[in-house]
Structure 1
Amino acid sequence: MNQLTITPNHPAICYLGHCDRSNPKQAVHSWPLSGLRIRVRCQSLLLLITSQKGPVPLPNYYDVYANGKLHTTLCVERSKKQYQISLSQNEQLHDIEIYRRTESMTGSCSFDGLVLYSDNRQPEIETAKPRQRLIEFYGDSISCGYGNEGHGQGYNPSQSNACMAFPALIGRHLNADVSVVAYSGEGIFRRFDGNESGAVPSFYNRSHFFSKTDWDYSQQPADAVVINLGTNDFVSGVPTKAKFVNAYTGFIQQLAKHHPDAKFFVIFGPNRMVDDWQQQQGYLQQVVAETRQLGIVCEFIEIETLIDGLSGSDSHPNLAQHRHMAEIISNHIADTMGW
């Protein structure tokens, strides 16, 4: 058996989403849909990955795509650091993509390398490249795909699939790479429980949620930025309009510095997730109006709630609602961007 060991800092690996690569022996990540792309000629490969305990002590899940199709799903646990992935016996060239399905609450993981195996020839790796388009998403549990494959209560990582959430679907629709910075329960200036000590603008620039290293946005500024925040700010009551609008527009201004050529899309939807949804709608429309006055291209997109569209876990969007969101947002982005 011939084998080839690939270290995490190998230049042929294309990392997807934000990750901390300050240690050349690891690529540490926790944001949903973070992952990697490789092009390999081999019969099988061994993925080396280490999982760290998070706020919720549950395993992480990763979807492995081979040549554009879902190949297998890995359950990554702290007790195991090697995962065998069988490909084909003919040693053809494979385009492999590995995406994290779960969100940061289950802890960070590190890609520690790969080992390629072949019977009849030396395995090979070719350089994988990013797609020409990049869409950056900032959000809460909806963007994470929380409970989109479930129907119960509580966070179940096996039923929360970022690979089938609307950001991933939009990436496929528009042939774009996708980066997701999102965490369940967070808002634009306060959490769902009213706590203002943590919100997305306070941690969005980390390489991953638990990292002390900031992400280097100059690596690849986004072409489009999609923000779906604000629902959690309304869960514990109607926030002050000025505070909400100022926090939101200020966040967009911060993001515009990182993505100077991007167009921004503020999402309101599913639009009936809180009782005071009409006030939320008005606040978000005000955000868009004020953002445009700052000279930033910003569009407002409202997504209606489908009948039974919130039948996922804890009344979150199910798979049908995510598909609905992806279709509407994709069309709007394509029209605005000229794609």
Structure 2
Amino acid sequence: MKEFTKYFIVISLMFLGFWACQPPTTSLSFSDADITYEGRILMRDTVAELIWPGTSVSIRFKGTGLSATLQDLDTANYYNVIIDDVPTAVIHTDTTKRHYVLASDLKKGVHTVQLFKRTEWDKGKTLFYGFKLHEGSKILSPPKPKKRKIEFYGNSITCGYGNEDTSDQDRWFGYFQNNYETYAAITARHFNAQYHCIAKSGIGITVSWFPMVMPEMYNRLDPTDSTSVWDFNGYVPDVVVINLFQNDSWIVTDPNNEQFINRFGEQAPADTTIIQAYENFVGSIRGQYPQAAIICALGNMDATKSGSAWPGYVQSAVLQLNDPDIYTCFFPYKDTGGHPKVDEQRQMASQLIKFIEANIDW
């Protein structure tokens, strides 16, 4: 537990049992209009499925506390509890449907509570049934929707893989992953923008560490279901950031890799093939969002190391697209082991924020 950031605590079942003694009196279904969602949310008849990293559920109320009714389909998901814009706790959901206390003993007044998914979709789905307000609390109308919208397509860097693992072991457990402290989420908060994060550790454009690439995943509502199609009209971002190719850069040099063989056979793809694949993917995004500014980013791992060909591939694809609203932004190689930690993610966010401020009027 020493590795975990001092700003958070994990809510244990012991505390849940204790707080369960406080009777909530007002219930809100997951479909209530006063609940605000961000991210691609799969709405079922009786429940909302929280799948993608950075997905969040928020509520505004007057009172002292509330609970959320949740059930995980795995045991590897973690959520931040954000009270009045301040991260206050971490919840580890499990496969039992239960009420998780998000806030209690607050000062009387108006509060906003956000439940934010730290972990990516390979850690499983969480079923969100609704909120229960504590005695004397009153639901309030949500704030006006944020005017700006941003969307990210990325890999483990964008997910936040291991960003809170300070042991240098770069462990994959959900406990060490915090999408809230990624360059993507930090940038979204800086601009007070709605946030969608379409990302998966290990994914690439031409090849991944598993049998799916981003061009096959980007248009899904449920990433685990090829028939689950996202309606791009439901969320039209002003800015799209694409940070991919890190995994491609590794796998294309390993002809013994299973996915190399599945995608390429015996011969690594030519430079022109790689560039065309990137151009095709960005073109697909442009087809969905004709008016968006698109930032083709790369880094901050060794795909941007001095001498790497991959920034050049991105630049070549963007030049061929010949679109004045498509940009490149490369994060310098961090030159440290493993995935970027929180401080490195913040450095990336600072660079991206400055880039957007300098180049995009939104």
TM-score with structure 2 setting the length: 0.83
One-letter amino acid matched to 1:136: E
1:169 to 1:153, Cα distance in 2 relative to 1, 3 A: closer
Structure 1 residue 175: Cα displacement: 1.7
Match of 1:306? 334
CA offsets per residue over residues 193-247 of structure 1, 9 Å max, x none?
xx6x410110111113224422222122000000000111111235422222222
Match of 2:220? 206
1:236 aligns with 2:251: yes
- CA distance in structure 2 between the partners assigned to 1:270 and 1:153 by the alignment: 15
1:107 aligns with 2:124: yes
1:296 to 1:20, Cα distance in 2 relative to 1, 3 A: farther
Structure 1: unaligned runs, 5 residues or longer: none
1:139 aligns with 2:167: no
Contact 1:166 1:323 in 2 (8 A): yes
Listed as ranges, the matches of 1:236-275 within 5 Å are 236-238=251-253, 239-270=269-300, 272-273=302-303
One-letter amino acid matched to 1:24: D
Structure 1 residue 153: Cα displacement: 4.3
One-letter amino acid matched to 2:70: I
RMSD: 2.0
Q: How many residues align?
A: 322
Three-state SS of the structure 2 residue aligned to 1:62 is strand
CA offsets per residue over residues 15-71 of structure 1, 9 Å max, x none?
1011111x2321112110001121112222111112113xxxx42110111111112
Match of 1:93? 110
1:240 to 1:277, Cα distance in 2 relative to 1, 3 A: farther
- CA distance in structure 2 between the partners assigned to 1:257 and 1:78 by the alignment: 39
One-letter amino acid matched to 1:168: A
Three-state SS of the structure 2 residue aligned to 1:46 is strand
CA offsets per residue over residues 163-204 of structure 1, 9 Å max, x none?
101101111222212110001111012114xx6x41011011
One-letter amino acid matched to 1:135: I
1:51 aligns with 2:72: yes
CA offsets per residue over residues 243-265 of structure 1, 9 Å max, x none?
22222111112112222210000
Contact 2:298 2:304 in 1 (8 A): no
CA offsets per residue over residues 60-97 of structure 1, 9 Å max, x none?
11011111111211111113532112234443111122
Percent of matched pairs sharing the same residue? 25
1:75 aligns with 2:92: yes
1:321 aligns with 2:344: yes
Contact 2:24 2:132 in 1 (8 A): no
Listed as ranges, the matches of 1:154-173 within 5 Å are 154-173=171-190
Structure 1 residue 299: Cα displacement: 0.7
- CA distance in structure 1 between the partners assigned to 2:71 and 2:31 by the alignment: 16
1:180 aligns with 2:210: no
